[in-house]
Amino acid sequence: MPRTADANAVLREKTRERVLQAAVRLFSRHGFDGTSVRALAQEADIAVGLLYSHFESKEGVLSALMQSSMLDVARTLEAADREPTARGFVTVLLTSAVEMMDAHRDLWRLSQGLRHQPEVLARLKLPFEHFLGATHQRLKAALAARGVQEADIEARVLFALVEGISQQYVQHEGGYPAAAVIRAAARRWPATPSRKRKADTP
């Protein structure tokens, strides 16, 4: 009798997960090019061939990782969106980004690194370009809704801050005064809700 379909699905999922975890670890430490498929399989403790029954290629593994990293970013934004004031928005945005990074430090390190390798990104055929543009738009809308003037420019400042702080944080081995930096960074945006916004949702 064959293994049941269920048992197989469980088996597959477990293996797939092991590969992905091995991949974050190795890609983030040695880079995508610096990690051989053999090393990847070894770290995941499976045979090389099995890897290819789960992913189309080494790039396919990376692609899967990047997708989950984009989800992280989206979640960060959602958390912040519930805050009524600009300062609250920025604070929660940065705080929850820092929490994400604590949870998935390697994944973020990896994804930040890739942001600077447009050729690799392009090969992944992920909507990365579009994703960045959309993120800028969401930041702009969020600030505008909270009464910030020149929302486009301010959104760019904010975007730069988020990226900059994320990088510092992720690259520090520890001891980065994240809370203080976030507080200082957020101080530049008003802590009072805009009247307009109050009127929108009374």
Partner DNA sequence: TATGAATGAGAATTCATTCAT
Partner DNA sequence: TATGAATGAATTCTCATTCAT
Using CB under 8 A, list all residues that contact a copy of itself.
Answer: 2, 29-31, 33-34, 47, 109, 112-113, 115-120, 150, 152-154, 156-157, 159-165, 167-168, 171, 176-177, 180-181, 184-185, 187-188
The candidate with the shortest Cα–Cα distance to 31, out of 68, 62, 64, is 62
End-to-end CA distance of the chain: 65
The candidate with the shortest Cα–Cα distance to 72, out of 46, 42, 107, is 107
Report the nearest approach of a copy of itself to the CB of residue 21 (Å). 19
Round to whole Å and give the CA distance between 64 and 120.
14
Binder of residue 106, out of DNA, a copy of itself, none (CB less than 5 to 8 A by kind): none
Report the nearest approach of DNA to the CB of residue 23 (Å). 11
Report the nearest approach of a copy of itself to the CB of residue 110 (Å). 9
Binding to DNA in span 37-66, by CB under 7 A:
37-38, 46-50, 52-53, 57-59
Report the nearest approach of a copy of itself to the CB of residue 163 (Å). 4
Round to whole Å and give the CA distance between 71 and 40.
24
Q: Is 122 in the site for DNA (CB under 7 A)?
A: no
Round to whole Å and give the CA distance between 73 and 131.
10
Cα 183 to its chain centre, rounded Å, is: 21
Give residue 186's identity as a one-letter amino acid code.
A
Binding to DNA in span 4-43, by CB under 7 A:
5, 7-8, 11-12, 14-15, 35-38
Round to whole Å and give the CA distance between 138 and 128.
15
Report the nearest approach of DNA to the CB of residue 58 (Å). 4
The candidate with the shortest Cα–Cα distance to 64, out of 27, 101, 95, is 27
- Residues in contact with DNA, total (CB under 7 A)? 24
What is the residue-wise DSSP string for 73-123? HHHHHHHHHT-SSHHHHHHHHHHHHHHHHHHTHHHHHHHHHHTT-HHHHHH
Binder of residue 188, out of DNA, a copy of itself, none (CB less than 5 to 8 A by kind): a copy of itself
Binder of residue 52, out of DNA, a copy of itself, none (CB less than 5 to 8 A by kind): DNA
Name the residues that contact DNA, by CB under 7 A: 1-3, 5, 7-8, 11-12, 14-15, 35-38, 46-50, 52-53, 57-59
